[in-house]
Homo-oligomer: A and B are copies of this chain.
Amino acid sequence: MTQLERARRGEITPQMEAVAAKEGLDPEFIRRGIEKGTIVIPCNVNHKNLNPSGFGQGLSTKVNANIGTSDAFPETEKELDKLKAAVNAGADAVMDLSTGGDINLSRRRIIEASTVAVGTVPIYQAMVQGYEEHGNKVGLTADELFRVIEEQAADGVDFITVHCGVTMETIERLKNQGRITDIVSRGGAFMTGWMLHNRKENPLYEQYDRLLDIARKYDVTLSLGDGLRPGCLADATDRAQVQELIILGELVKRAHEAGVQAMVEGPGHVPMDQIEANIKLEKQLCHGAPFYVLGPLVTDIAPGYDHITAAIGGAIAAASGADFLCYVTPAEHLGLPDIDDVVDGVVASKIAAHAADIAKGVKGALERDIEMAKARKALDWQRQIQLSINPSRAGKVREAKNAPEQELCTMCGKFCAMKVVEEHLGKSCSN
């Protein structure tokens, strides 16, 4: 039985207990959230060493790191290193997006090594295998696609991105809309190409019940993908995107009825002033299902710095109610991220998530900042480093710029404000 089916029966599972303990919340709150569909705990029955996390309303904002091989970089080992680095930097989930080398091997080793939830986009593997099998991108059969999904589910994948909302109806809306960057979701693009070429409806939509059966069997959480997400600011929040979201809302409801946990994926590239509306829209159209956003990027012009662009958008999204941020690395729009990019991406998203959690009033969020403020006031450098989001980086910067054991830093030296105030205000004004 899935977490949702068990929640519905009033059962508090060990996974719900674990999530409640991590969040400092009542297990019954978690159970109720799962029952309502506002919280998911992706935890495939076959992912043995998972330390489960919850995603959704009332919980701290979570961060996902995408890893995985590509044609140009097919080695599994490198991706295992990225997994380790991502989790070490604070990622709450990883997605294995492998499309190169031995895809099955990479996935299995990543699941085996991962204590955080592992997601995949099964269409990627299906696309690669279909290409090998048929020599083109359109020969893949629906059965082949479902076989990949079942295989990945059986391996222990905790959540899968499925572009079920890319339908003939949404494609028509897209054509009618007109866009600058058309479709930028790889899965969405592939599915669209397949549908137009074969003149057939999307099998993930048409045979949605078949998908639900697999998901229920292994308790795989569906992450309803946004194949029509905007690929640039000018395309944001258009009719094609919203049409797909409407359909995803219907599919959330069907998943829920079938006892399958579901969340919804969102953009992408969105101007700052449209982010809140996007979040409210998803919550409203999709019955409060957890919202998993990619970025969003608040400008298109910053390749090389898209972790920063995404941190701005992600913070605003999370403060407006988004539950789960997919990181974006400095390599986005330029190439496959390396291990340093992965760390930079995770940390930037964690900053966004934490800043939003303070704004949302998530339990315990501000306390960490208060501890840091006290350490700063006390000029306690060791404690400041320790409390940092990435102690190793903070320590290195401090070391590079200051003599060891130096009490005051090289920015202000003896004119340190903390020192001057202490001399004259003493402890009189600290609380």
> Which residues of chain A have a CB within 8 Å of any CB of chain B?
70-73, 99-100, 124, 127-128, 131, 137, 174-175, 177-186, 188-190, 192-193, 196-197, 231-235, 271-273, 298-305, 307-309, 311-312, 315-316, 319, 330-331, 333-336, 338, 347-348, 351-352, 354-356, 358-359, 366, 368-370, 372-374, 376-377, 384-385, 387-390, 393-394, 396-398, 400-402, 409-418, 420-421, 423-425, 428-431
Contacts and interface: CB of A to CB of B under 8 A. Distances in A.
B234 A348 contact: no
Contacts of A233: 358, 366, 369-370, 373
A303 B397 contact: yes
B234 A359 contact: no
A338 B124 CA distance: 43
Contacts of A336: 401, 409-411
A421 B182 contact: yes
What are the 10 closest A-B residue pairs judged by CB atoms, nearest first?
Answer: A335-B401, A232-B373, A178-B431, A189-B417, A298-B355, A273-B359, A272-B359, A193-B424, A304-B393, A72-B410
Given A232-B376, A370-B180, A411-B335, A189 B421 contact: yes
B410 A192 contact: no
A197 B426 CA distance: 12
A270 to B, nearest CB: 10
A191 to B, nearest CB: 10
Majority secondary structure of chain A interface residues (helix, strand, loop or mixed): helix
11 contacts: A99-B415, A180-B373, A181-B377, A182-B429, A272-B315, A300-B376, A302-B347, A308-B311, A316-B316, A334-B402, A338-B401
A188 B393 CA distance: 30
B429 A305 contact: no
A368 B300 CA distance: 8
B368 A301 contact: yes
Contact of A351 (B175, B231, B309): B309
Contact of A414 (B71, B232, B398): B71
Contacts of A304: 388-390, 393-394, 396-397
A412 B272 CA distance: 28
Contact of A418 (B184, B196, B312, B413): B184
Contacts of A413: 70-72, 99-100
A216 B71 CA distance: 66
B424 A192 contact: yes
